[in-house]
Chains A and B, each alone.
Chain A
Amino acid sequence: GAVVSQHPSRVICKSGTSVKIECRSLDFQATTMFWYRQFPKQSLMLMATSNEGSKATYEQGVEKDKFLINHASLTLSTLTVTSAHPEDSSFYICSARGGTGEVYGYTFGSGTRLTVV
């Protein structure tokens, strides 16, 4: 089946540095990708919608200057956490519509565990 590849799977960074997470659709084109954040024992919270060739659309309360999204091609979206702080530590997951065989199916990446120290 279709795969969404997300890298890195784990990253540890120092406070104040920036971290880039990549999300690729491997065998299908994704004009739209989605970025989620998940805290331990909690559900996925939608952060933003990444649109190929245009600006991302952010959910209410998500700082667009903090979480930079770039969707330069039909198969790649990146999320950059800028000036990371310990409270940004979380599990970040991307997804793309399609690739499941269902009309409304979404395929998810395997997530990135970010730890800011």
Chain B
Amino acid sequence: TQLLEQSPQFLSIQEGENLTVYCNSSSVFSSLQWYRQEPGEGPVLLVTVVTGGEVKKLKRLTFQFGDARKDSSLHITAAQTGDTGLYLCARRSTLGRLYFGRGTQLTVWP
């Protein structure tokens, strides 16, 4: 199975710090997506990465897709309390179904 491994599972940092979360697999993907979910809500799409080596920026968030398209990372610069949430990577199957990694629960303290 094409499993997505996310790390770390939990991350607790102070406001202003930088952080990186990882999404790894042994399989090659045509694309990967990153979502953010707040408690009691559905996930919200942050970005889709498609090309190996691609880097996308969304304000303080930087997403990278590995050259071999097997892994991806999300880097947050100068974290804010509003960044707190569950960050999920997901892959889309050939049938269009979306499968998620275990997620990284980020808590940013003031």
Contacts and interface: CB of A to CB of B under 8 A. Distances in A.
Contacts, number: 56
A113 B40 CA distance: 8
A46 B98 contact: yes
Interface stretch (B58-66, B70-78, B100-108): B100-108
B99 A102 contact: no
Contact of A104 (B33, B86, B101): B33
Contact of B92 (A49, A91, A104, A108): A104
Given A49-B97, A113-B40, A42 B102 contact: yes
Given A104-B31, A104-B92, A110-B42, A43 B48 contact: no
Interface residues of B, number: 22
Interface in B1-35: 31, 33
Nearest to A9: B40
A71 interface: no
A100 interface: yes
Contacts of A45: 100
Residues of A in contact with B, size category:
20 to 34
Interface in A87-117: 91, 93, 95, 97, 100, 102-111, 113
Nearest to B86: A43
A50 B96 CA distance: 12
Interface of A: 4, 6, 9, 32, 34, 41-46, 49, 91, 93, 95, 97, 100, 102-111, 113
5 contacts: A41-B105, A95-B42, A102-B45, A111-B40, A111-B42
